[in-house]
Chains A and B, each alone.
Chain A
């Protein structure tokens, strides 16, 4: 079993749709959690950190459930520009913040 698992998709949604991505992690010692966005043939870029209380940034909402070792990302009112691969990342705050990446979930937003 991989340490971080994501539904690979692809998710194909129309503009304006709401879409949710899930991520599970196996290491209960994980302390920090992130969502990154990666466009085709580009480097990953930080989308948002995920806090225990849940956090929102515009159309994006991230939630963490430590008991179930589960992270989610909700995108509301999808835009064409949201089309990308979304990477779930978990980290222990030791070993230089060594992070484990999920394989990513691919989203395509269609007009």
Chain B
């Protein structure tokens, strides 16, 4: 089946540790995105990537890092510099269409990160 997968579903981390969240898509989508969602709030963009080996900071990139070595993969590392990392992390992807615009975004099931 085509889709976006994220792993793990739940992740627990001790303070001071880095942790990497996985995101893989087999939709052949060009762009990929990472969002953070806190309870009762909307999604905030962390990083996004339009093409392999290129990515841009979103609105809340501090304390996070990403890589895009393959089109289908866009892992997110939550570093110890992120002050409040406990949140629901969502990965999304979208297809670039003619004219340089993009279709709607499709989301993976998310990873719930808890810092102990």
Question: B-contacting residues of A (Cβ < 8 Å)?
Answer: 4, 8, 31-32, 34, 41-46, 49, 87, 91, 93-99, 101-104
Q: Specify which chain A residues have a CB less than 8 angstroms from the CB of B100 in the assembled complex.
A: 93-94
Question: A-contacting residues of B (Cβ < 8 Å)?
Answer: 30-31, 33, 35, 40-45, 48-50, 56, 58, 88, 90, 94, 96, 99-110, 112
Q: Is the CB of A44 within 8 A of B104?
A: no
Top 3 nearest A-B pairs by Cβ distance?
A: A97-B102, A93-B101, A43-B107
Give the contacting residue for A44; candidates B31, B90, B101, B112; CB below 8 A: B90
Say what secondary structure dominates the interface of chain A.
mixed
Q: Is the CB of A97 within 8 A of B107?
A: no
Q: Is the CB of B48 within 8 A of A98?
A: yes
Q: Specify which chain B residues have a CB less than 8 angstroms from the CB of A46 in the assembled complex.
A: 104-106
For A4, the closest partner residue in chain B by CB is: B42
